[in-house]
Amino acid sequence: MKNFKTLFILSISLVMFNNALLSAQETEEPAEEATFNFSGTVDTYFRTSFSEDPVAPGTSFANLNGFALGMANFIVSYEGEKSGFVADVVFGPRGSDAVFGSSGNSSELVNQLYAYYNIAEGVKITLGNFNTFLGYEVISPAANFNYSTSYMFSYGPFSHTGIKADFTLSDDISLMLGIFNQTDQTEANYDRYTAFGAQLGLYGQYINLLAGEDYFQIDYTGGFDLSDSFFIGINATTATLGGDTGFAGVALYPQITTSDSFAIGLRGEFFSETDGFGALVSDGDADNFSLTLTGSYTAGNFTFKPEFRIDSASSEIFAISPTETADNLASFVVAAIYSF
């Protein structure tokens, strides 16, 4: 892996240097106007469960009780003719969950921080920290249909720090290759291990691979427009952490758009863990099936999302009162999201 990493970075450096020499020899053309952007989201929500204690499902986001805060997300980006950068910071509980486990303290607010360079048409090199390419869901609540997140997303990687090369091979085919620090090594490579990532995109369907020290995950993400108003998304993943410890899951995301301002969607997810992975139980095997029904009403930059969710587990993992646990849980969330 070390030799491959060195060769990968050296190859990219040589290509970039050669491209710069060729560009200098070409006749100068008027440069395209660079663009500077400031964007982001603010979200807040109310959550309760139909039990004595307002316990939440064991996913990373929308797991606080009563009236609760999501996060403020501020993104500064610059796009030049050949290069640019993204600086993305988050504040609030959802933001803390998004960067949890990162080594060091100074990066606690950093969601993404990277620079990129287009070395040739259809070839882009990115260096820094960027959100993961695995999975159907993302950190931003504005980009997900459901407000609460799946187990597959919550227990997979959130972001990577490293270098990647994106190749646009045609209008419908793409390839990404990258070398990263181990997951949650955001600031620097503290343990000296590296991970390899790859993504193959074919006609809107994506096969994703992440392999590192005692870690291997393969993931499929895609979806199909069944009509002008009916879309179904799909995510399936399996991961191992050395030995038999790991998790696997599959989720379907049917969504119906009823008007320009309203849509309704369902997420059905089956999630299973083995040998005490820790998402559901601390020891042994366990699984959970959840149904999440979400409405989405949009008016300008504002989105209102009421959501009803039912979780059913193979073990009594939900503390529904100070003295009782249960293997199922029904909960309700209503969220307000503003995008700018």
Range of the domain at 83: 2-25+34-339
Residues of the chain with pLDDT > 70, as a percent, come to: 88
Output the CA–CA distances (angstroms, integers) from residue 244 to 62, 126, 137, 157, in the order listed: 30, 34, 26, 19
- Check residues 160 and 100 and name the one with the higher pLDDT: 160
Distance CA 245, CA 277 (A): 6
Residue 17 DSSP SS3: helix
Q: Please report where in the chains the tokens 């099936």 appear, as a residue.
A: 289
Q: What is the pTM of this model?
A: 0.86
- Indicate which CATH number applies to the domain containing 180: 2.40.160.10
Any idea what the Cα angle at residue 336 is, between residues 266 and 339, rounded to 5°?
100
pLDDT of residue 11: 55
pLDDT in tens, 183-233: 877 777 877 789 999 999 999 999 999 998 889 999 999 999 999 999 999
Burial bucket for residue 216 (CB in 10 Å: 0-12, 13-18, 19+): middle
At residue 101, the pLDDT reads 58
Q: How far apart are CA 270 and CA 248, in angstroms?
A: 8
pLDDT digits (tens, 9 = 90+) for 290-315: 999 999 999 999 999 999 999 999 98
Residue 37, classified by CB atoms within 10 Å of its CB into exposed (0-12), middle (13-18) or buried (19+), is exposed
**Is the pLDDT score of 26 beyond 90?**
no
d(C-alpha 5, C-alpha 109), whole Å:
28
Residue 47 one-letter amino acid: R
Token reading at 1: 């892996």
The number of distinct structural domains making up the chain is 1
DSSP assignment of 56-114, as one string?
--SSSSS-S-EEEEEEEEEEEEEE-SSEEEEEEEEESHHHHHHTTT-SSSTTTTEEEEE
- What's the mean pLDDT in 174-189? 88
- Has residue 332 got a pLDDT over 70? yes
pLDDT, one tens digit per residue, over 253-285 is: 999 999 999 999 999 999 999 988 888 888 889
